[in-house]
Structure 1
Protein backbone atom coordinates (compact mmCIF):
# COMPACT_ATOMS: atom_id res chain seq x y z
CA UNK A 1 0.00 0.00 0.00
CA UNK A 2 1.19 3.48 -0.81
CA UNK A 3 2.64 5.41 2.12
CA UNK A 4 0.24 8.23 1.24
CA UNK A 5 -2.64 6.08 2.44
CA UNK A 6 -1.16 4.93 5.74
CA UNK A 7 -1.49 6.73 9.03
CA UNK A 8 1.90 7.38 10.53
CA UNK A 9 2.62 8.07 14.16
CA UNK A 10 3.42 11.78 14.21
CA UNK A 11 5.07 11.41 17.62
CA UNK A 12 8.05 9.51 16.18
CA UNK A 13 8.91 11.85 13.33
CA UNK A 14 11.00 14.95 13.69
CA UNK A 15 10.97 17.94 11.40
CA UNK A 16 14.09 19.34 9.72
CA UNK A 17 13.82 22.72 8.05
CA UNK A 18 16.11 23.82 5.24
CA UNK A 19 19.05 25.91 6.37
CA UNK A 20 18.79 29.68 6.16
CA UNK A 21 20.99 31.09 3.38
CA UNK A 22 24.38 32.46 4.34
CA UNK A 23 25.68 35.69 2.87
CA UNK A 24 28.29 35.28 0.14
CA UNK A 25 30.36 38.07 1.75
CA UNK A 26 33.07 37.59 4.37
CA UNK A 27 31.50 37.84 7.83
CA UNK A 28 33.28 40.90 9.21
CA UNK A 29 32.49 41.57 12.87
CA UNK A 30 33.81 43.81 15.59
CA UNK A 31 34.79 42.16 18.88
CA UNK A 32 31.40 43.33 20.24
CA UNK A 33 29.65 42.00 17.13
CA UNK A 34 31.17 38.56 17.71
CA UNK A 35 30.13 38.65 21.37
CA UNK A 36 26.59 39.58 20.30
CA UNK A 37 26.48 36.68 17.81
CA UNK A 38 27.71 34.26 20.45
CA UNK A 39 25.11 35.54 22.91
CA UNK A 40 22.35 35.05 20.31
CA UNK A 41 23.60 31.50 19.73
CA UNK A 42 23.63 30.66 23.44
CA UNK A 43 20.15 32.17 23.89
CA UNK A 44 18.83 30.05 21.02
CA UNK A 45 20.45 26.92 22.51
CA UNK A 46 18.72 27.69 25.81
CA UNK A 47 15.42 28.12 23.94
CA UNK A 48 15.93 24.72 22.33
CA UNK A 49 16.61 23.05 25.68
CA UNK A 50 13.33 24.43 26.99
CA UNK A 51 11.44 23.31 23.91
CA UNK A 52 12.83 19.78 24.16
CA UNK A 53 11.53 19.54 27.74
CA UNK A 54 7.97 20.43 26.65
CA UNK A 55 5.34 17.86 25.65
CA UNK A 56 5.55 16.88 21.98
CA UNK A 57 2.93 17.89 19.46
CA UNK A 58 3.19 19.28 15.95
CA UNK A 59 3.61 22.89 17.13
CA UNK A 60 6.38 21.97 19.57
CA UNK A 61 8.13 19.90 16.89
CA UNK A 62 7.96 22.87 14.53
CA UNK A 63 9.35 25.17 17.23
CA UNK A 64 12.22 22.70 17.81
CA UNK A 65 12.91 22.58 14.06
CA UNK A 66 13.01 26.39 13.87
CA UNK A 67 15.35 26.57 16.86
CA UNK A 68 17.65 23.91 15.39
CA UNK A 69 17.72 25.75 12.05
CA UNK A 70 18.52 29.04 13.80
CA UNK A 71 21.32 27.36 15.77
CA UNK A 72 22.86 25.93 12.59
CA UNK A 73 22.71 29.41 11.02
CA UNK A 74 24.28 31.14 14.02
CA UNK A 75 26.98 28.47 14.39
CA UNK A 76 27.93 29.05 10.75
CA UNK A 77 27.98 32.84 11.24
CA UNK A 78 30.22 32.52 14.31
CA UNK A 79 32.43 30.00 12.50
CA UNK A 80 32.86 32.35 9.52
CA UNK A 81 33.44 35.45 11.66
CA UNK A 82 36.47 37.60 10.85
CA UNK A 83 37.09 39.89 13.81
CA UNK A 84 38.24 43.41 12.92
CA UNK A 85 39.03 45.69 15.83
CA UNK A 86 38.00 49.25 14.91
CA UNK A 87 40.70 50.60 17.23
CA UNK A 88 43.30 49.25 14.80
CA UNK A 89 42.01 51.28 11.84
CA UNK A 90 43.65 54.45 10.54
CA UNK A 91 41.80 57.30 12.32
CA UNK A 92 41.44 59.55 9.26
CA UNK A 93 40.09 56.99 6.77
CA UNK A 94 36.56 55.58 6.69
CA UNK A 95 36.72 51.82 7.31
CA UNK A 96 34.79 48.95 8.87
CA UNK A 97 33.74 49.86 12.42
CA UNK A 98 33.78 53.62 11.82
CA UNK A 99 31.11 56.09 12.80
CA UNK A 100 30.86 58.66 10.05
CA UNK A 101 29.09 62.03 10.04
CA UNK A 102 28.12 63.25 6.58
CA UNK A 103 26.51 66.39 5.24
CA UNK A 104 23.96 65.87 2.46
CA UNK A 105 23.33 68.13 -0.53
CA UNK A 106 20.33 69.64 1.31
CA UNK A 107 22.44 70.38 4.42
CA UNK A 108 21.18 67.48 6.56
CA UNK A 109 23.69 65.90 8.91
CA UNK A 110 23.51 62.11 9.10
CA UNK A 111 25.53 59.73 11.25
CA UNK A 112 26.30 56.19 10.09
CA UNK A 113 28.08 53.35 11.88
CA UNK A 114 29.59 50.86 9.45
CA UNK A 115 28.97 47.42 10.94
CA UNK A 116 28.81 43.75 9.97
CA UNK A 117 25.74 42.30 8.30
CA UNK A 118 24.44 40.75 11.52
CA UNK A 119 24.55 44.08 13.37
CA UNK A 120 23.06 46.20 10.58
CA UNK A 121 19.98 48.23 11.52
CA UNK A 122 19.52 51.13 9.07
CA UNK A 123 16.71 52.65 11.15
CA UNK A 124 19.27 53.11 13.95
CA UNK A 125 22.03 54.36 11.63
CA UNK A 126 23.92 51.04 11.58
CA UNK A 127 24.68 50.17 7.98
CA UNK A 128 26.18 46.99 6.59
CA UNK A 129 29.75 47.20 5.37
CA UNK A 130 28.40 45.82 2.06
CA UNK A 131 25.63 48.42 1.61
CA UNK A 132 25.92 50.95 -1.23
CA UNK A 133 26.40 53.86 1.18
CA UNK A 134 29.18 52.07 3.08
CA UNK A 135 30.89 51.07 -0.17
CA UNK A 136 30.80 54.74 -1.23
CA UNK A 137 32.31 55.90 2.07
CA UNK A 138 34.96 53.25 2.76
CA UNK A 139 38.47 54.38 1.93
CA UNK A 140 37.55 58.07 1.87
CA UNK A 141 39.03 60.70 4.18
CA UNK A 142 37.76 63.58 6.29
CA UNK A 143 36.49 66.44 4.11
CA UNK A 144 36.04 64.23 1.03
CA UNK A 145 32.89 64.39 -1.03
CA UNK A 146 31.56 61.04 -2.23
CA UNK A 147 28.82 60.14 -4.65
CA UNK A 148 26.18 57.87 -3.16
CA UNK A 149 24.41 56.01 -5.94
CA UNK A 150 20.89 55.18 -4.90
CA UNK A 151 17.78 54.06 -6.81
CA UNK A 152 16.20 57.51 -6.65
CA UNK A 153 19.33 59.18 -8.04
CA UNK A 154 22.82 60.06 -6.98
CA UNK A 155 23.59 62.27 -4.01
CA UNK A 156 26.85 63.88 -2.95
CA UNK A 157 27.86 63.46 0.70
CA UNK A 158 30.62 65.39 2.44
CA UNK A 159 32.47 63.50 5.20
CA UNK A 160 32.50 65.74 8.27
CA UNK A 161 33.76 63.36 10.98
CA UNK A 162 35.23 59.89 11.33
CA UNK A 163 35.32 58.12 14.72
CA UNK A 164 36.29 54.64 15.84
CA UNK A 165 34.54 53.95 19.14
Structure 2
Protein backbone atom coordinates (compact mmCIF):
# COMPACT_ATOMS: atom_id res chain seq x y z
CA UNK A 1 0.00 0.00 0.00
CA UNK A 2 1.23 3.50 -0.78
CA UNK A 3 2.25 5.68 2.18
CA UNK A 4 0.17 8.49 0.67
CA UNK A 5 -2.94 6.82 2.08
CA UNK A 6 -1.67 6.12 5.59
CA UNK A 7 -2.72 8.12 8.63
CA UNK A 8 -0.31 10.68 10.04
CA UNK A 9 1.35 9.90 13.34
CA UNK A 10 -1.37 9.84 16.01
CA UNK A 11 0.74 11.33 18.77
CA UNK A 12 1.88 14.37 16.80
CA UNK A 13 1.43 17.48 18.93
CA UNK A 14 -1.36 19.90 18.07
CA UNK A 15 0.17 23.25 17.12
CA UNK A 16 -1.77 26.13 18.67
CA UNK A 17 -0.34 29.59 18.11
CA UNK A 18 0.57 31.50 21.27
CA UNK A 19 -1.56 34.45 22.31
CA UNK A 20 0.38 37.66 21.74
CA UNK A 21 1.62 39.48 24.84
CA UNK A 22 1.31 43.26 24.76
CA UNK A 23 4.56 45.25 24.74
CA UNK A 24 3.00 47.79 27.16
CA UNK A 25 3.30 47.77 30.93
CA UNK A 26 0.78 45.35 32.41
CA UNK A 27 -1.00 47.79 34.72
CA UNK A 28 -4.03 46.30 36.46
CA UNK A 29 -6.61 47.43 38.96
CA UNK A 30 -7.18 45.22 42.03
CA UNK A 31 -10.32 43.94 40.27
CA UNK A 32 -8.26 43.16 37.19
CA UNK A 33 -5.81 41.11 39.23
CA UNK A 34 -8.72 39.15 40.68
CA UNK A 35 -10.01 38.54 37.14
CA UNK A 36 -6.61 37.21 36.06
CA UNK A 37 -6.39 34.93 39.07
CA UNK A 38 -9.94 33.69 38.46
CA UNK A 39 -9.11 32.96 34.83
CA UNK A 40 -6.00 30.99 35.87
CA UNK A 41 -8.00 28.94 38.40
CA UNK A 42 -10.72 28.18 35.85
CA UNK A 43 -8.18 27.14 33.21
CA UNK A 44 -6.29 24.94 35.68
CA UNK A 45 -9.56 23.18 36.50
CA UNK A 46 -10.45 22.82 32.80
CA UNK A 47 -7.00 21.38 32.09
CA UNK A 48 -7.31 18.94 34.98
CA UNK A 49 -10.73 17.77 33.77
CA UNK A 50 -9.63 17.54 30.14
CA UNK A 51 -6.53 15.55 31.11
CA UNK A 52 -8.56 13.18 33.29
CA UNK A 53 -11.07 12.59 30.50
CA UNK A 54 -8.48 12.49 27.72
CA UNK A 55 -9.11 9.99 24.99
CA UNK A 56 -7.24 9.51 21.76
CA UNK A 57 -9.68 11.87 20.10
CA UNK A 58 -7.95 14.67 18.17
CA UNK A 59 -10.58 17.17 19.39
CA UNK A 60 -9.53 16.46 22.99
CA UNK A 61 -5.87 17.04 22.14
CA UNK A 62 -6.75 20.31 20.45
CA UNK A 63 -8.82 21.42 23.44
CA UNK A 64 -6.00 20.57 25.84
CA UNK A 65 -3.53 22.48 23.66
CA UNK A 66 -5.79 25.56 23.62
CA UNK A 67 -6.36 25.42 27.38
CA UNK A 68 -2.62 25.05 28.02
CA UNK A 69 -1.90 27.98 25.68
CA UNK A 70 -4.44 30.20 27.45
CA UNK A 71 -3.06 29.14 30.83
CA UNK A 72 0.47 30.16 29.72
CA UNK A 73 -0.90 33.54 28.59
CA UNK A 74 -2.74 34.28 31.86
CA UNK A 75 0.15 33.01 34.00
CA UNK A 76 2.48 35.40 32.19
CA UNK A 77 0.00 38.24 32.66
CA UNK A 78 -0.18 37.44 36.38
CA UNK A 79 3.61 37.39 36.69
CA UNK A 80 3.95 40.78 34.99
CA UNK A 81 0.91 42.47 36.58
CA UNK A 82 1.54 45.82 38.27
CA UNK A 83 -1.33 46.80 40.56
CA UNK A 84 -2.04 50.50 40.37
CA UNK A 85 -4.51 52.32 42.60
CA UNK A 86 -5.03 56.05 42.00
CA UNK A 87 -4.70 58.56 44.82
CA UNK A 88 -8.33 59.44 45.65
CA UNK A 89 -7.26 63.06 46.24
CA UNK A 90 -5.73 63.43 42.77
CA UNK A 91 -7.21 66.22 40.69
CA UNK A 92 -5.74 64.88 37.44
CA UNK A 93 -6.66 61.77 35.48
CA UNK A 94 -4.68 58.66 36.44
CA UNK A 95 -4.88 54.94 35.76
CA UNK A 96 -7.83 53.34 37.58
CA UNK A 97 -9.94 56.51 37.65
CA UNK A 98 -13.38 57.03 36.19
CA UNK A 99 -13.64 60.05 33.90
CA UNK A 100 -16.71 61.71 32.41
CA UNK A 101 -16.27 63.63 29.17
CA UNK A 102 -18.79 65.66 27.20
CA UNK A 103 -18.99 66.69 23.57
CA UNK A 104 -20.99 69.93 23.41
CA UNK A 105 -21.50 69.81 19.63
CA UNK A 106 -23.33 66.48 19.78
CA UNK A 107 -24.54 66.70 23.35
CA UNK A 108 -22.88 63.36 24.04
CA UNK A 109 -21.64 62.33 27.48
CA UNK A 110 -19.31 59.36 27.99
CA UNK A 111 -18.02 57.91 31.24
CA UNK A 112 -14.95 55.69 31.12
CA UNK A 113 -12.94 53.84 33.73
CA UNK A 114 -9.29 53.55 32.70
CA UNK A 115 -8.14 49.96 33.31
CA UNK A 116 -5.58 47.38 32.19
CA UNK A 117 -5.61 45.95 28.70
CA UNK A 118 -7.08 42.61 29.77
CA UNK A 119 -9.81 44.36 31.78
CA UNK A 120 -10.94 46.67 28.98
CA UNK A 121 -14.57 46.30 27.95
CA UNK A 122 -15.94 49.37 26.19
CA UNK A 123 -19.50 48.02 26.32
CA UNK A 124 -19.24 48.23 30.11
CA UNK A 125 -17.46 51.60 30.23
CA UNK A 126 -13.90 50.32 30.70
CA UNK A 127 -11.10 51.40 28.37
CA UNK A 128 -7.49 50.30 28.22
CA UNK A 129 -4.83 52.63 29.54
CA UNK A 130 -3.13 52.44 26.13
CA UNK A 131 -6.22 53.46 24.17
CA UNK A 132 -6.10 56.85 22.41
CA UNK A 133 -8.83 58.26 24.68
CA UNK A 134 -7.02 57.24 27.87
CA UNK A 135 -3.69 58.53 26.61
CA UNK A 136 -5.33 61.89 25.79
CA UNK A 137 -6.91 62.03 29.28
CA UNK A 138 -3.86 61.24 31.41
CA UNK A 139 -2.66 64.22 33.45
CA UNK A 140 -5.68 66.35 32.57
CA UNK A 141 -8.13 67.98 35.00
CA UNK A 142 -11.83 68.83 35.09
CA UNK A 143 -12.47 71.60 32.56
CA UNK A 144 -9.64 70.55 30.24
CA UNK A 145 -10.52 69.77 26.64
CA UNK A 146 -9.09 66.81 24.74
CA UNK A 147 -9.30 66.03 21.05
CA UNK A 148 -10.05 62.48 19.93
CA UNK A 149 -10.87 61.57 16.33
CA UNK A 150 -11.22 65.23 15.42
CA UNK A 151 -13.84 65.79 18.12
CA UNK A 152 -13.37 67.90 21.19
CA UNK A 153 -14.40 66.54 24.59
CA UNK A 154 -14.44 68.44 27.87
CA UNK A 155 -13.59 66.61 31.08
CA UNK A 156 -16.56 67.18 33.38
CA UNK A 157 -15.80 64.79 36.25
CA UNK A 158 -12.97 62.69 37.66
CA UNK A 159 -13.43 60.03 40.28
TM-score for the superposition, normalised by structure 2: 0.90
Indicate whether 1:103 and 2:99 are aligned: no
Counterpart Cα distance in 1 of 2:110 and 2:135: 16
Q: Give the root-mean-square deviation of aligned CA atoms.
A: 1.9
Q: Secondary structure at the match of 1:66?
A: helix
| Structure 1: 4+ residue segments shifted above 6 A | none
Cα drift, residue 62 of structure 1: 0.2
Counterpart Cα distance in 1 of 2:69 and 2:30: 25
Counterpart for residue 82 of structure 2: 82
Cα drift, residue 7 of structure 1: 4.0
Cα drift, residue 9 of structure 1: 4.6
Counterpart for residue 141 of structure 1: 141
Deviations 1:83-114 (A, max 9, x none): 1013x355211110010111113222111111
Cα drift, residue 81 of structure 1: 0.7
Extract unaligned runs of 5+ from structure 1.
none
Counterpart Cα distance in 1 of 2:28 and 2:4: 48
Cα drift, residue 146 of structure 1: 1.2
Counterpart for residue 114 of structure 1: 114
Counterpart for residue 65 of structure 2: 65
Counterpart Cα distance in 2 of 1:4 and 1:18: 27
Counterpart Cα distance in 2 of 1:7 and 1:109: 60
Counterpart Cα distance in 2 of 1:140 and 1:9: 60
Counterpart Cα distance in 1 of 2:43 and 2:156: 40
Q: Secondary structure at the match of 1:117?
A: coil
Extract unaligned runs of 5+ from structure 2.
none
Deviations 1:25-56 (A, max 9, x none): 01000111111101101101111111111123
Query: How many residues are matched?
Result: 156
Alignment check: 8 A CA contact 1:89 1:95 kept: no
Cα drift, residue 8 of structure 1: 4.6
TM-score for the superposition, normalised by structure 1: 0.87
Counterpart Cα distance in 2 of 1:104 and 1:57: 56
